Amino acid sequence: MNHLPATVHRLVVLVLGVCAVVVGVGALAWRLTIDPVDDWIERIDTGAAVRFADGTWWTAVLVGIAVLAVVVAAVLLVTVIRPMKAQRVLLPASTPNGELTVAPGLLATAAANDLARDPMVLAASGRAINDRGHQIIRLTVQAHSTRSYADLAKVCSRATDALADALAGAPVEIQVLLQLKHPDPGQRLNTPAPAAETDDVAAIAADRN
């Protein structure tokens, strides 16, 4: 979650928590007849609440409160489920005369495509996200559990090295999530082929020059 949605959520929780504490402490003090809370509650005009509810505009007030609650709830839900979109990254090689930027999402897709070509990899996907101000390229790699971890790590490291070269020191974190699946007993595993060149990542890196 980005900084702004996270801050809004914390503020909402803080306000609701403070209101709950105030109401709870007030109710407890009233039950125990603790001054001055007990005196404050005794001064409340309970008849005003009855007259307020009998007003012709009471229904409109309830509808307005319900609509407001639905809108606030919808906004909070949207900020939770919306994609954490990563922004273009400014490369350290930028100068006052010109800026060099790169789209992390394109790099993530290119790296995933390169990984998917490897015979040891069943499937690969990549995405770029912004998690609380941290730009992250996250690669998800699926492979059979019978594969050697060292071999899989070597395949993934080639992709991460290519991404690091393309980013050229930009503040972007690279994560690889390795998902191992048990192969079908009747399925024949492919023999690993020589390492594939990371052409897509290299091409994107060249485009920024």
- pLDDT tens digits for range 6-49: 777 788 889 989 999 988 888 888 778 777 777 777 777 667 76
Per-residue confidence (pLDDT) for residue 83, from 0 to 100: 53
Judging by beta carbons within 10 Å of its beta carbon (0-12, 13-18, 19+), is residue 8 exposed, middle or buried? middle
Per-residue confidence (pLDDT) for residue 70, from 0 to 100: 92
* Whether residue 140 has pLDDT greater than 90: yes
Domain boundaries of the chain, sorted by first residue: 3-81, 90-207
Beta bridge partners of 123: 142
Entry pTM = 0.55
CATH of 90-207, one of 3.30.70.1350, 3.20.20.70, 3.40.50.10490, 3.10.310.30: 3.30.70.1350
| Rounded CA separation 131/84 (Å) | 7
Band (pLDDT 50/70/90 cuts) for residue 187 is low
pLDDT in tens, 55-102: 777 778 888 989 998 998 888 777 776 656 777 777 777 777 777 777
Per-residue confidence (pLDDT) for residue 196, from 0 to 100: 44
Which residues touch 175 (CB under 8 Å, ≥6 apart)? 136, 137, 138, 139
Percent of the chain with pLDDT over 70: 82
| Rounded CA separation 48/60 (Å) | 18
- Which amino acid appears at position 171 of this protein? P
- Higher-confidence residue of 136 and 185: namely 136
Q: 188 with 94: CB under 8 angstroms?
A: no
Q: 111 with 126: CB under 8 angstroms?
A: yes
Cis ω before 36 (30° cut-off from 0): yes
